[in-house]
Structure 1
Amino acid sequence: MTEQQLTPQGDSPPPSPRHPSTRARLLAPRALGIGSAVAAAAAVVALVFATQTAVQATSSPETTASTPIAADSSDEDAPEKAADVPKPATVAAAYDGLTGAEVEYVRFVGAQDAAFAAGRDVFGEPGLQFLSTDVADPQAYADGHRRLLSLYYDYATNETVSMIVDVTTGTVEAVERASGTQPAPTDAETSLAWELLLDSESAQPVIDEFASLTGGSVLTPTSAEVLLTAHSFTTDAGTFGAESCGVDRCVQLLAQVDGGAFLTTSTYVVNLSTRAVLSIS
């Protein structure tokens, strides 16, 4: 959308993006999304984190040779919760693109690792918060095995966790942790952040603005008129009010109404680690 298409009200999207709640979650089904990380060894992990930090979780998938399958499923049908996920009948070649079946399998295998069980997800429950999966760089290995790299977030320690699974052998080969890195938020994290914002004392201006734009409609977390996206937020020297963001897991929301105006949400940041809504300046 160009600036000419936006109304003067509300926020505009970033000019050039690089890319408390009960169990009745507002979670979307698993969806295809963008991720640009292709890495395998621990030496490459920092690069993976950096390239994913500014990517919006709800971006449309690209038709590339290796399109990562992004991060979200409902709590009920997530592969990590399954009693068993069978290994794909045919293991893809090292350089092949991802398939949904092998991503589900790798997520299940990763969930059996002790590092996964020791973590906490965005809802404070046992298990790491799954973010995304991509093909690990085959050039880093000489055995020709199929390997995938999954990213998770551990809300217990505020660390991003990378896990390499050998699909050929069905084993977790490496788990690495990094602090101060913030990959793009998932649909689940985005939905929770929106719910927290609307439930906060800061929400009234946003609610009033929505009512003005829609002729009096009531804004709720499930309002069909709103297209919701988000990006991870790290504070800088020129931003005040969210100094812990970058260490804590924080997101900033973009809420577009009926394909037109954007609600004014740029003055708020949602700290998912503490579940606090922060006003920034």
Structure 2
Amino acid sequence: MTDTQLSPEGDSPPSSGRRPSKFRRLITPRTLGIGSAVAAGAAAVALVFATQTAVQATSSPEAPESTPIAADSTDEGAPEKAEEVAKPAAIAAAYDQLSGAEVEYVRFVGAQDPAFAAGVDLFGEPGLQFLSTDVADPQAYADGQRRLLSLYYDYGTNETVSMIVNVTTGAVEAVDRASGTQPAPTDAETARAWELLLDSESSQPIVDEFAALTGGSALTPASAEVLLTAHSFITDAGSFGAESCGVDRCVQLLAQIDGGAFLTTSTFVVNLSTRTVLTVS
């Protein structure tokens, strides 16, 4: 395994070579829903998907750095499930940063495409699992129109799905799929992985360790004392026990108690595709 080895007080923080997405306070998976920012790994995937058959502009201003964002939503109130989301009153220029209003709009527009409804989300329900939205590379187009690129995961086929939405015209222009690519997990996926781990037969040592470190507190998926970090897990030649990960959507968790000790979780990988907990070595 490439993760940091375990210490007597639990897992150590991740090394600089393989950092998880970010710290986040645990919330119930259904409250977290399907919206979350994807870190730099997802942006790299977005660039791969963004190769469109469009004319490259002969000259254009240098594009400012863009950070993928996601409009706040819950599973029940996500833009994909809305009856209508209005187009932003003012359409941003091709190089402008994202706004929450246009992210909500392109998520709604994308959900009207047949490819969205044909997918399966994190909870096994119809609809692709939303991951992130970012600005599509303006230099790939010559018309100066505003386009955003959304990333989704299809748990029915284990594919990452990219969707280009033209904000100017309100149309889905391209949908592409790729297997074997694993963007960083969202908040919803992180929380779901934690829930599956604690519900598994492997959880007892973690529960006991938490009780010992907190003076007897009971560990539940909603325990506010725990801060979770997660990263996508892809098996390699040095890992055994999770050979399907990389094709399947797998997550490895790091759980820290109130900014202090880390629970021993790095020997486990949660396969979100099969909803199983794997022991790795």
What is the TM-score normalised by the length of structure 2? 0.85
Q: Secondary structure at the match of 2:206?
A: helix
Identity %: 77
In the alignment, which residue of structure 2 is the partner of 1:165? Answer: 165
Matches within 5 A, 1:125-204: 125-204=125-204
Mapped partners of 1:174, 1:7: distance in 2 = 48
In the alignment, which residue of structure 2 is the partner of 1:258? Answer: 258
Query: What's the CA shift for 1:37?
Result: 1.8
Supply the AA of the counterpart residue of 1:77.
G
Q: Gaps spanning 5+ residues in structure 2: where?
A: 1-5, 21-27, 53-63
Mapped partners of 2:11, 2:71: distance in 1 = 26
Partners of 1:185 and 1:251 within 8 A in 2: yes
Find runs of 4+ consecutive structure 1 residues off by over 6 angstroms. none
Supply the AA of the counterpart residue of 1:153.
Y
Q: Secondary structure at the match of 2:107?
A: helix
Query: What's the CA shift for 1:237?
Result: 0.9
Q: Secondary structure at the match of 1:251?
A: strand
Mapped partners of 1:277, 1:216: distance in 2 = 25
Mapped partners of 1:27, 1:155: distance in 2 = 20
- Structure 2 CA distance for partners of 1:44 and 1:82, relative to 1, 3 Å: same
Query: What's the CA shift for 1:72?
Result: 6.7
Q: Report Cα offsets for 1:226-272 as digits up to 9, x if no partner.
A: 00111100001111110000000000011000101110000000000
Mapped partners of 2:130, 2:239: distance in 1 = 29
Aligned: 1:28 with 2:32: yes
Q: Secondary structure at the match of 1:173?
A: strand
Partners of 2:133 and 2:151 within 8 A in 1: yes
- Structure 2 CA distance for partners of 1:237 and 1:31, relative to 1, 3 Å: closer
Count how many residue pairs are aligned between Structure 1 and Structure 2: 254
Q: Report Cα offsets for 1:80-120 as digits up to 9, x if no partner.
A: 00000000000100000000000000000000000000000
Partners of 2:36 and 2:186 within 8 A in 1: no
Q: Secondary structure at the match of 2:87?
A: coil
Partners of 2:50 and 2:136 within 8 A in 1: no
- Structure 2 CA distance for partners of 1:138 and 1:161, relative to 1, 3 Å: same
Mapped partners of 1:94, 1:43: distance in 2 = 15
Query: What's the CA shift for 1:70?
Result: 3.7
Query: What's the CA shift for 1:14?
Result: 1.6
Aligned: 1:212 with 2:212: yes
Mapped partners of 1:274, 1:109: distance in 2 = 29
Query: What's the CA shift for 1:43?
Result: 6.3
Q: Secondary structure at the match of 1:229?
A: strand
Aligned: 1:37 with 2:43: yes
Partners of 1:72 and 1:130 within 8 A in 2: no
Q: Cα RMSD between the aligned structures?
A: 2.2
Query: What's the CA shift for 1:27?
Result: 3.0
Q: Gaps spanning 5+ residues in structure 1: where?
A: 1-5, 46-63
Matches within 5 A, 1:1-281: 8-16=8-16, 17=18, 25-28=29-32, 30=35, 34-35=39-40, 37=43, 39=46, 42=49, 44=51, 65-70=65-70, 73-281=73-281
Mapped partners of 2:226, 2:243: distance in 1 = 29
Q: Secondary structure at the match of 1:108?
A: helix
Mapped partners of 1:183, 1:203: distance in 2 = 26
- Structure 2 CA distance for partners of 1:7 and 1:266, relative to 1, 3 Å: closer
Query: What's the CA shift for 1:68?
Result: 1.4
